[in-house]
Each structure stands twice: as structure tokens, then as C-alpha cells.
Chain A
Amino acid sequence: MRRIDPFRLALLAITAAIIASPISAQGPPDSGPPPMVELTGSWAMSNDEERLIRIDPGPELGNFTGFPLNAAGRQKALTWNATIQAVPEHQSRAHAATYSMRGPGPNFHMGEIIDPATRRLMAYTITGLFENANRTIWLDGRPHPSEYAEHLWNGFSTGEWENGALHVTTTHVKPMFIQRNGIPASPYAVMHEFFIRHGDRLLLISQVDDPVYLEEPMVRTSTFRWNPGQREGGLPQVEVAEEVPSLQQGDVPHYPLGSRHPEYADENKLPFEATLGGKETLYPEYAEKLKQLMTKQGPASGGSSK
């Protein structure tokens, strides 16, 4: 029988103990990447809020209710003329990211960009937005470009996971509007969004912070439902047509500075000043002031402010 060298046997015992001990000393596995939630797929809008505003006919001229406009924003909004949409250069114009998730619709598809080498998720894509202003949300930690970089309809978006929600930060958006009746957004606006999934429902919380036109950041919430097989819209309109014959080349439809648009207030029996928006008008305290204004205005056949 072959003799076993006691020293080799002792060495084997020590080695075995060393191998065994690190397994037990590891404790819980490392925390790894933060938990994320599957967002890819087709999502259909729920339009049970502001249906006529978000689809057609769209928001009324002079209806700035619910927007924390400052004086500059109000002035610019009052000069906006819907005929601007008929100018050839504007007929195929996309909606900027500061508005495109709000209306019309949209029904959209959330897709992925996967790094072909590492197979890691680099970005989400959002397609189906109005006039194809589709978005890319970079998740790979890249920085936002210089403030002097090109601004686009879809801006530049990065995302990160926070407590189960996808937090998206968007900058470099072309100046446009945050509502389809000319409520403006400047190129300095920064948008933060949280996408939160609850089963087959998706909540989008959006904040637009615009130091030029808003008194305080504008927050809106929208809901979507998972809708597999959906065909998204958003195809570009490619044929430019003469929509308003009286328009001459070079015309820029607008209302002059100092214009008022009381039609919305009149039609809905609202005090004109209440329809001009502003931070004050968004909070519960304003309901009392509104009541006083409406009393002063006289009996309304429609609503009251109780």
C-alpha cells in the first residue's frame, strides 16, 4: 500500500479549508445593477382627460388655463395664430419633445437599442410620435452635449432608474410649444419625465422647467395601456399643399402684440383674467378668488366656482 505523506495531507486540508471559507464569507451577492422594469412594447394613450384638447379640435385660442405662464409666455402665446400651421415650411413640422408625449395621443412603441458587442441595453426608443419626431433615451451614461450643440424636435434624452421608475432628462429641444395653441417653450427648457409601469398600465409624469416662459415648472401626468399589435401613427406628411390661398410667400401669420382673445372666456362664462394662466391660478386658493371674480362678472348661465 502506498504511504501518504503527512505534510501533503496537511497541506491538502489547509487548501480545502481556504477554498471552502471564501464561499461562506461572501455573504449576500453584490447588489448588482439597480432593478429595472420592462418598458418595451406598444402603449396606447388613455384620453379620459382633456379629450377634446388632446385630440381634435385641440385647445382653444386663448385657453391658457392650467399653465403657469409668466408675462413673457403670455405675451408670446397671445400672438400665436393657428394659420402658422398652414405655412409650407410648417406643414410637416413635428411636435417638439416638450409636447409630443401629450398630444395628439400619442400611441407609441418603446423599443431598445442593444450594443451588438456587449449585448447591453444602450437606449430606449420611442416611435410613433407626431410627424416622426421619434425619441432616443440613452441609458449608457453619456453626457448631454454642449449648450451650444444643435437643438432638435426630439431634443437629447438620457435615462436612469430611480426606485423602479425610468427618469428621463431631456435638453436641446427646439423652441416650440407645450400646448397646441401656442403656449410657448423656449430652447432653454429642460424636461424631466418619470415612466412608471403598473402591470399593463404606464404612468408618465412630466415636468417642463422653462426659465423664459414659465413662473414655475409645469407638471402633467398621462396614462397609457399596454396594447400589443398596435400600429402606431406618426408617419411624416410629405406633400405640402396650398392650404390658405391668401397666404403670400414670406408671410408669418401672427396676432400683433397686445392682442386679446376673450372668446374662450366668453364662451365658457369665465373671467378673462382667469383664462390667462399663471402660477396663482393652479392652486386650491384660487377657487375662492375665482368665485369672487365670477360674482363680480355677473350671473353665468353655465358654471360656478363654488
Chain B
Amino acid sequence: MSNQHAFRSARLGACVAVALLAGHRLAGQQPPAPPAARTPRAAATSDLTGYWVSVVTEEWRWRMITPPKGDYTSIPLSDEGRRVAFLWDPQTDGSCKAYGAAGLMRMPTRLNISWQSDAVLKVESDAGQQTRLLQFAPTPQPGGRSLQGFSVAEWEPIGGGLAGRGGRAGGPPTPVALKVVTTNLLEGWLRRNGVAYSDATTLTEYWDRVAFPNGDVWLTVSQYVSDPKYLTAEYTTSMHFKRESDGSKWKPAPCRQA
């Protein structure tokens, strides 16, 4: 009798242990296995594609027309930058130099943004008919210098990854902004009147999309131009573009080759 009872007790004890272990193992399954790496296209938390039109509400006099020679108001030009700006020949107005990466976004233009592949965002302008490729996985190394340069893109957590708070693991995905760093640029113009940036320029950009309650959707491109030759400090601007439903107003117009 006592042996039988001891055996039953042992069996039940084993059941308890199994049940506890089972619970433990289930609980131990968290967190789930990490998901497969997503493509840059899939990792976007806002859609930048589509047609956008620049709305010139700032610096109108310097953007809607070609300003007079020597008008470099607001630009932190160095002595060398000033010297180069005064070399500008008004006969070259309309040159493609005004449509390089550090000047293009300030032109009155429309943009057509699309994914060329899962890792390359293509930005086309109708003004000057330029194409920028923003490469998330820049496997090809930069080749020769060009007007649009070599652009390396990444999704950066909004706040810069330094300042976030309040989110929880398993919550909604951390919002990200498009950060682009462009080098390998040919010399170009910050303004159409020949205020130049040099080929040593590094252009850093953030691309943000917001939707206002009236239904308007806007894209803002913030630009930080660092040029050790022609600027004494970083040149900071931000340009805004309104989303259009289609490309019916797209009017390609070439720039003048030098």
C-alpha cells in the first residue's frame, strides 16, 4: 500500500514537473525569432513616391528669376566663393550647372519619385531633366564626378536614433526619415546667378512627408551643404513640394549644356 502510494505520488510529481517545464518553455519562446531582413523599400514608414510640385513661398526673388550678378544674400560665401560668384557670365543663364544636386531642389520644378529597385529610389525633375539615384545599398562604388553625384541613402529613425522615448518593444514600427549623403559632385551652382559650390562639397539631406488635415500632402527636403572651398559655414535650406495626383502637369525642359 505505501509503495503503491509512493509510486502514484512520484508519477503525479513528474506530471507537475512536466507541466511547469511546458509552461516555462512556452514562456521562453519570447521574443519570437527575428524577422527576415526587409528591403529598404519595405522598410519605409512613409511613401515618398509620386509627383510633387515645388511651391515657392520662400526666397521667391532668388528662385523664380535669376538674380543679378553678385547677389549672394543669405549664403555664407568664403572669399574664394565670392570671387567665383563674380566671375559668372549672365550669358550662361540656364546652364545645367544650376541643376546639380545642391541647387536642383531650389528650382521651380516638379519631381517624379519612384522605386527603380527595392534599394534605389529614383528622383526625376522636369526642370532641367535631371535624374538622381538615391542608393540604399551602394554596391557600385562611385565612378566619375557628376552633377548629381553619388548619393547614399538610409532610413534613419526620426530623432536621429538618439532622442526617442516612450516607444515599446513590439509596438508600432519606429518612424523613419530618409537621410541622403551625396558626394562625388561636379562643381555646380547654389543659385542660378553662378553662386557656386565646389567639387569638394558634401550634401546631407533629410526627406520628410507630412499630411495636413485638409488633405494636402507635402514633401520637405532639408539640405545641409558643406563646402570647404566656397563656404565659411554649412548652408542650410529647406524646400517644400506639394503632392499632385498625377503627372498631367509634368513638362520636361532641358537645361543648357556648358
**Complex contact A282–B213 (CB within 8 A):** no
Q: Which of B93, B163, B175, B224 contacts A38 (CB 8 A)?
A: B163
CB contact under 8 A between A37 and B74, given known A196-B177, A198-B177, A305-B65: no
User: Is B187 part of the contact surface with A, judged by Cβ < 8 Å?
Assistant: no
Among B131-139, B145-153, B194-202, B234-242, which stretch is in contact with chain A?
B234-242
User: Is A29 part of the contact surface with B, judged by Cβ < 8 Å?
Assistant: yes
**Complex contact B12–A13 (CB within 8 A):** yes
**Complex contact A270–B65 (CB within 8 A):** yes
**Complex contact A205–B220 (CB within 8 A):** yes
Interface residues in A24-38 (C-beta closer than 8 Å to B): 24, 28-38
Q: Which of B161, B162, B170, B212 contacts A28 (CB 8 A)?
A: B170
Interface residues in A63-107 (C-beta closer than 8 Å to B): 65-68
User: Is B16 part of the contact surface with A, judged by Cβ < 8 Å?
Assistant: yes
**Complex contact B45–A37 (CB within 8 A):** no
How distant is the Cα of A219 from the Cα of B167 in the complex, in angstroms?
30
User: Is B184 part of the contact surface with A, judged by Cβ < 8 Å?
Assistant: no
Could you show 24 A-B contacts with beta carbons less than 8 Å apart?
A17-B20, A21-B26, A24-B27, A24-B29, A28-B169, A38-B163, A65-B61, A66-B58, A194-B208, A196-B210, A197-B163, A198-B156, A199-B163, A200-B160, A205-B208, A205-B210, A219-B57, A221-B239, A283-B53, A285-B249, A287-B108, A290-B65, A303-B71, A303-B193
CB contact under 8 A between A164 and B159, given known A13-B16, A36-B166, A48-B235: yes
CB contact under 8 A between A20 and B61, given known A66-B56, A196-B177, A283-B55: no
Which A residues touch B31, using CB under 8 A?
A: 28
Using C-beta atoms within 8 Å of the partner chain, give the interface range for chain B.
35 or more
User: Is A222 part of the contact surface with B, judged by Cβ < 8 Å?
Assistant: yes
Which B residues touch A3, using CB under 8 A?
A: 5, 9
How distant is the Cα of A186 from the Cα of B208 in the complex, in angstroms?
29
Interface residues in B230-255 (C-beta closer than 8 Å to A): 235-240, 242, 249, 251
Q: A49-B58, A205-B208, A285-B249 are in contact. List 18 more A-B contacts (CB 8 A).
A: A4-B12, A13-B19, A23-B27, A24-B23, A28-B31, A30-B168, A33-B167, A34-B166, A35-B167, A36-B166, A37-B164, A164-B157, A164-B175, A205-B240, A218-B57, A283-B56, A303-B65, A306-B66
Which B residues touch A261, using CB under 8 A?
A: none
User: Is A203 part of the contact surface with B, judged by Cβ < 8 Å?
Assistant: yes
How distant is the Cα of A83 from the Cα of B243 in the complex, in angstroms?
41
Question: What distance in Å separates the Cβ of A137 from its nearest Cβ neighbour in chain B?
Answer: 16
**Complex contact A35–B163 (CB within 8 A):** no
Nearest CB in chain B to that of A54: its residue = B74
